[in-house]
């Protein structure tokens, strides 16, 4: 959930061949994505509407090329006020038939229906956010998203026991709303929400993962891989400096609810974050493949700010993996992590920009989500997706 930490304040509450590193050793592609910069224009699909409220915009993009048609698809979070004093998030879909030069709103994938909470018996809204798509082959698409319930009039994230991932497979992005799904629970998830698998049960190493966040999905070698941020807790409560990215895999045989998952291991944690640029952790990680087929990850280096109880973001970085299973990051001749791209947003107010995404086929280059302050009316925050043009 790339929105969750600061919103708690607002609402009150291997496979892969080793590729040459010569280009990377020339230094990373860099850009300062400022709001007024012609180098980093906003991307708003034709036909998309933006909710006029204190909770609005577009965020958390996932952009992928359709192997059957060449069309580009972009799924993204659409924050909105469901009713008065009740924010929620929908998931929308846009398409491009000119390699990402222009985009058109296509459909709403997941809305905010009102359902009865199986635990409390109260009517709650369903919120869906942070979707990731991946085309394994023509007409075989996988997706993952975060789902939780909202009690009307209450904080958007006030019911962590309802948090879970939903993973599905469909013939295309438009078909995802009707696809069969698996429900993956977390340490705090109440089993009465219909969980098929509890991710922390897959390894003792995950015992402190009370919640998971920021999922990304990818396939290779006939297997499906899911990366997710473990939100760690100990006897003293949440311990955000100990968060890390966990990697899971399944052969995806049969209906999604019957898929057998295994824990692959840690994808990245505090050690890699400190080594790269002396941050505490990485968040908002999105997996993809580069033009040469190697695995790439774009993510946000972050430090937890105890004074505001939220993460302070420091732009986006792109790194490369030479292996996904087990996870092995590419390093240079001196043993240092190889950075392919580095994007900042120097005029973005605290707590900094939001999620980034990437597909080598898109002329947009790496997409960055900025969070400009809105002076109103109405006053509040909005999320805006920007093109950087960086295609390392």
Residue 138: which residues within 8 A CB-CB, separation 6 or more? 66, 67, 68
The more confident residue out of 374 and 297 is 297
146-197: per-residue pLDDT in tens?
999 999 999 999 999 999 999 999 999 999 999 999 999 999 999 999 999 9
378 pLDDT band (50/70/90 cuts)? low
Alpha helix positions (H), 126-250: none
**Using CA atoms, how far apart are residues 248 and 226, in angstroms rounded to an integer?**
5
List domains and CATH numbers for the chain: 4-385 (2.115.10)
Buried b / exposed e across 108-136, counting CB within 10 Å, b at 16+? ebbbbeeeebeeeeeebbbbbbbbbbbbb
Share of the chain above pLDDT 70, in %: 91
Least confident range from 22-26, 86-90, 361-365: namely: 22-26
- Res 376 pLDDT > 70: no
**Dihedral over alpha carbons 253, 360, 21, 356 (to 10 degrees):** -90
Mean of the pLDDT values across residues 5-33? 51
pTM of the predicted structure, to 2 decimals: 0.92
DSSP 72-136: EEEEEEEEEEEETTEEEEEEEEEEESSTTSS-EEEEEEE---EEE-TTT-SEEEEEEEEEEEEEE
- Res 268 pLDDT > 80: yes
pLDDT of residue 5: 42
The rounded mean pLDDT for the chain is 91
Neighbours of 26 (CB within 10 A): 8
- Res 16 pLDDT > 70: no
């Amino acid at each position: 959930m790339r929105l969750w930490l600061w919103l708690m304040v607002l609402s009150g509450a291997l496979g892969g061949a080793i590729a040459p590193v010569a280009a990377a050793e020339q230094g990373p592609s860099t850009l300062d994505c400022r709001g007024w910069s012609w180098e980093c224009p906003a991307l708003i699909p034709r036909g998309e509407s933006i909710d006029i409220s204190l909770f609005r915009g577009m965020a958390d993009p996932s952009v992928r090329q359709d192997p059957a048609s060449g069309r580009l698809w972009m799924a993204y979070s659409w924050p909105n006020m469901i009713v008065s004093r009740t924010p929620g998030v929908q998931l929308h879909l846009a398409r491009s038939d000119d390699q990402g030069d222009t985009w058109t709103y296509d459909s709403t994938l997941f809305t905010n229906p009102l359902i009865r909470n199986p635990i409390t018996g109260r009517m709650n809204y369903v919120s869906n956010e942070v979707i990731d798509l991946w085309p394994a082959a023509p007409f075989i698409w996988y997706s993952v998203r975060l789902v939780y319930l909202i009690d009307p009039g209450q904080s958007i994230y006030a019911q962590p026991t309802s948090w879970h991932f939903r993973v599905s497979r469909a013939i295309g992005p438009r078909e995802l709303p009707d696809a069969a799904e698996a429900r993956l629970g977390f340490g705090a998830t109440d089993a009465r929400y219909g969980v098929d698998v509890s991710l922390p049960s897959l390894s003792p190493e995950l015992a402190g993962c009370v919640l998971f966040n920021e999922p990304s999905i990818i396939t290779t070698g006939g297997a499906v891989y899911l990366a997710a941020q473990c939100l760690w807790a100990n006897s003293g409560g949440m311990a955000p400096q100990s968060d890390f990215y966990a990697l899971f895999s399944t052969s995806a045989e049969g209906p999604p609810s019957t898929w057998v998952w295994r824990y692959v291991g840690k994808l990245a944690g505090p050690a890699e974050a400190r080594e790269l640029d002396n941050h505490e952790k990485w968040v908002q990680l999105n997996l993809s493949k580069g033009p040469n087929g190697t695995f790439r990850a774009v993510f946000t280096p972050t430090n937890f700010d105890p004074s505001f109880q939220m993460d302070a973001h420091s732009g986006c970085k792109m790194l490369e993996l030479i292996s996904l299973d087990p996870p092995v990051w590419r390093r240079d001749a001196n043993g240092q992590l190889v950075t392919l791209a580095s994007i900042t947003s120097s005029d973005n107010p605290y707590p900094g920009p939001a999620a980034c995404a990437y597909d080598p086929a898109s002329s947009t280059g790496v997409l960055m989500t900025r969070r400009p302050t809105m002076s109103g009316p109405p006053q509040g925050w909005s999320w805006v997706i920007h093109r950087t043009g960086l295609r390392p």
